[in-house]
């Protein structure tokens, strides 16, 4: 199939979507350059528009740092050889052999294991008669994601899909579709009991080195990510609260007489072993990370308090005066308990100012995203009404011209 050598520039409609949901600062200046003529690169890379829809989100596996998802990826690029140059020239999807045309060769980079992939192609025209090839690719499987667990169990995680082209970035430029906003179906989220899924979706444009044959070749990539916040209630009741009670029980050992050191140490060591068992249970629900989470810090702080109490009880044997030992024992109880209460207050304030602040920001972004979707929907309806009105006016004008040029019209000079 032969292709025409002339190139057509398609100016895009200005979008109302805020900058925080876009990867380019000004989409009104973005152009689709037809730089691939006859399969050859003539200049700047060809622009390919990307739109992602999260059809379904399944389990989020914190231990393996993976999540299950069903994603629909819509890619769109210009094909000037199929433009409607005349009103009589029309192309339909069934008439076209898509294998004969250029393709960006899109794939998902962070999809692992056995996954299902289906794709279909279609031909679309804009109101100016300019042709676009559209590929819809549906990918279902497990996606790898490096989780940031600093704030565990109050963390907010990115669930991202990295879309790449098998063509170098010098030939292909992957960008968001400015006329479409990425979407997610929240009602199909499976892991709702453990996670809170936000509706807002953001993206990030990258260039990655993914060619093993030539490590210097860069690939254009677009990372589209939604976010989910962990519901911390389970860990608050079963980890934080129980650990707090274990630490409080350590202070109850001061009720035993100071001279009965063996009884005090026996109770304290039992509490230490209980706290260590809780730490092992926590390690089974987290990957092997090289930093401390919020829950790790809290359990370690409790172990330190228990260790200090054990050392104090052991040091009681060095005090011979019983009256002096009893007074010092009371002072030590007040100091240890005060330090632990201050630590808990500081820990609570840190959670409010840290992870909870991020959740409030995500809630605000979600509200802005919902308002953006509503505005975009209204704008589309107005644009459709305007197009229908324009089409009706054009039809009426055509009928009027036909009536004026008709031989049966008395006003037509040709009818005289």
Give the pLDDT score at 3.
37
Query: What phi and psi, each to the nearest 5 degrees, are found at residue 134?
Result: -120, 125
For the segment(s) 234-356, the CATH number from 1.20.58.390, 1.20.58.1910, 1.10.3720.10, 3.90.25.10 is: 1.20.58.390
For residue 253, how many other CB atoms are within 10 A of its CB?
A: 21
Give the pLDDT score at 404.
60
How distant is the alpha carbon of residue 49 from its chain centre?
Answer: 19
Q: Which fold has domain 10-229?
A: Acetylcholine Binding Protein; Chain: A, (2.70.170)
**Does residue 236 have a cis peptide bond before it, meaning omega lies within 30 degrees of 0?**
no
Q: What distance in Å separates the CA atoms of residue 203 and residue 54, rounded to the nearest whole number?
A: 13
How distant is the alpha carbon of residue 173 from its chain centre?
Answer: 21
Listed as ranges, residues in the chain with pLDDT below 50 are: 1-41, 86-89, 415-416
Residue 358 has which token pair?
Answer: 């991020």
Report which secondary-structure segment, H or E, holds 364: helix 355-404
Question: What is the pTM assigned to this prediction?
Answer: 0.75
Q: What distance in Å separates the CA atoms of residue 140 and residue 154, rounded to the nearest whole number?
A: 28
Give the pLDDT score at 240.
93
Q: For residue 16, what are the contacts with CB-CB under 8 A and spacing of at least 6? A: 372, 375, 376, 379
Q: Are 415 and 404 in contact (CB under 8 A)?
A: no
Give the pLDDT score at 375.
79
Q: What distance in Å separates the CA atoms of residue 239 and residue 122, rounded to the nearest whole number?
A: 54
DSSP 237: I
Listed in order, the ranges of the chain carrying CATH 2.70.170.10 are: 10-229
Tens digits of per-residue pLDDT, 295-327?
999 999 999 999 999 999 998 888 777 778 888
Q: What distance in Å separates the CA atoms of residue 3 and residue 102, rounded to the nearest whole number?
A: 11
Tens digits of per-residue pLDDT, 224-245?
999 999 999 999 999 999 999 9
Listed in order, the ranges of the chain carrying CATH 1.20.58.390 are: 234-356
């Amino acid at each position: 199939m032969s292709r025409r050598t002339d190139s057509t520039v398609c100016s895009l409609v200005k979008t109302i979507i805020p900058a925080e949901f876009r990867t380019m600062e000004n989409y009104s200046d973005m152009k689709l350059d037809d730089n691939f003529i006859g399969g050859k690169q003539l200049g700047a890379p060809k622009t390919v528009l990307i739109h992602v829809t999260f059809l379904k989100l399944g389990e989020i596996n914190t231990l393996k740092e993976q999540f299950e998802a069903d994603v629909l990826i819509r890619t769109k690029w210009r094909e000037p050889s199929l433009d409607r140059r005349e009103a009589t020239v029309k192309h339909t999807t069934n008439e076209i052999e898509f294998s004969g045309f250029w393709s960006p060769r899109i794939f998902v980079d962070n999809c692992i294991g056995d996954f299902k992939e289906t794709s279909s192609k279609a031909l679309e025209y804009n109101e100016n008669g300019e042709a676009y090839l559209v590929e819809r690719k549906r990918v279902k499987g497990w996606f790898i994601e490096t989780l940031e667990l600093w704030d565990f169990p109050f963390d907010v995680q990115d669930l991202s899909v990295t879309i790449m082209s098998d063509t170098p970035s010098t030939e292909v430029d992957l960008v968001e579709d400015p006329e479409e906003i990425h979407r997610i179906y929240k009602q199909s989220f499976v892991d709702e009991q453990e996670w809170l899924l936000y509706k807002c979706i953001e993206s990030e444009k990258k260039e990655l080195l993914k060619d093993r044959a030539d490590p210097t070749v860069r690939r254009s990539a677009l990372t589209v990510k939604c976010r989910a916040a962990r519901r911390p209630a389970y860990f608050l009741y079963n980890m934080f609260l129980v650990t707090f009670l274990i630490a409080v029980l350590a202070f109850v050992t001061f009720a035993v007489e100071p001279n009965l050191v063996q009884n005090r140490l026996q109770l304290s060591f039992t509490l230490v072993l209980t706290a260590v068992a809780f730490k092992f249970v926590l390690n089974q629900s987290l990957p092997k990370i090289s930093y401390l989470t919020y829950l790790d810090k809290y359990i370690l702080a409790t172990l330190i308090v228990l260790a200090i109490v054990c050392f104090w009880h052991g040091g009681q044997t060095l005090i011979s005066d019983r009256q002096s030992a009893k007074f010092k024992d009371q002072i030590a109880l007040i100091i240890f308990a005060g330090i632990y209460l201050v630590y808990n207050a500081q820990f609570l304030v840190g959670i409010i100012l840290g992870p909870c602040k991020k959740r409030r920001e995500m809630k605000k972004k979600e509200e802005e995203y919902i308002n953006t979707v509503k505005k975009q929907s209204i704008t589309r309806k107005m644009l459709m009404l305007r197009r229908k009105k324009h089409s009706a006016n054009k039809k009426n004008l055509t009928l009027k011209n036909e009536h004026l040029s008709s031989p049966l019209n008395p006003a037509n000079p040709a009818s005289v």
